[in-house]
Amino acid sequence: MSGRDAILGKIKSNLDRPNDLESKQAIQNRLQAHQKNLIPQRGELNQDQRIALFCQEASRVNASIVELMHFDEIPAAVSEYLRTHQLPAKVKIAPHKDIASLDWDVNTSLMIEEGRGAGDDGVSVSMAFGGVAETGTLVMTSGPETPTSLNFLPLDHIVVVRAHEIAGNYEAIWERIRDVQTKRGCEGTVPRTVNWITGPSRTADIEQTLLLGAHGPQRLHILVISEATT
């Protein structure tokens, strides 16, 4: 036995833990139980009230929001955002079927590129897994259709979220993530990355002065879509 093994063995014996099999079973039971934490009541609202609270809280943290009725309104809304901020008409979009299948050429002069984010992308359009009303937070899960790089590399991030997928609290989102993974045949797992985005990137490390875009996008624009499906 090496000196390292002897030290670790002595630490383990002094921790007075149950044997490895019992420990693993206890951990597995805890993971499967999904015991919920304290859930704030402010998010326990009907859908219209949840959307209103989500928009209020997202605006409070410097995100801009537009509510649309249908997915096919997205290209025009993106074009309007670019004109408002005097940005080039070039956009990197996520390869998500609900975004990539849109007719981006109708009534716009946008140059669209589909795929993962790169260092020179100025504006990206992503699809959110959902939102959290109590904090105005977007939930972004990684996958082939939703590259995480689009969330952080461009200076302007436009996120599409379905109104009915805005939950009242964090626990409801985690429960839906687990349900989706189970339906995909991946029970007991979560996506490789789950990002919770509340407003643009920011820091106040230097003299307590708020600086947007410190570690990611300097602007966050949210498109809330009332239509349940494309």
**Domain range summary for the chain, segments of one domain joined by +:** 47-225
Higher pLDDT, 55 or 19: 55
C-alpha to C-alpha distance for 128 and 162, rounded to whole angstroms: 8
Give the model confidence (pLDDT) of 63-89 as tens digits.
999 999 999 999 999 999 999 999 999
Question: Does domain 47-225 bear CATH number 3.40.50.10420?
Answer: yes
Whole-model pTM?
Answer: 0.82
Residue 5: its pLDDT value, please? 86
> How many Cβ atoms are within 10 Å of 56's Cβ, its own excluded?
12
Q: Which residue, 115, 125, 112, 114, is CA-closest to 151?
A: 125
Residue 230: its pLDDT value, please? 41
Q: Strand order of the sheet with strand 111-114?
A: 64-68, 219-225, 156-162, 123-127, 90-93, 111-114
The three-point CA angle 140-143-146 to 5° equals 55
Question: Which residue bears the tokens 């904090």?
Answer: 135
> How many Cβ atoms are within 10 Å of 73's Cβ, its own excluded?
16
Residue 107's pLDDT band (cuts 50, 70, 90): confident
Q: Is 163 within 8 Å of 226 (Cβ atoms)?
A: yes
Contacts of 201 (CB under 8 A, 6+ apart): 152, 212, 213, 214, 215, 216, 217, 218
Q: Which residue, 164, 166, 179, is CA-closest to 135?
A: 166
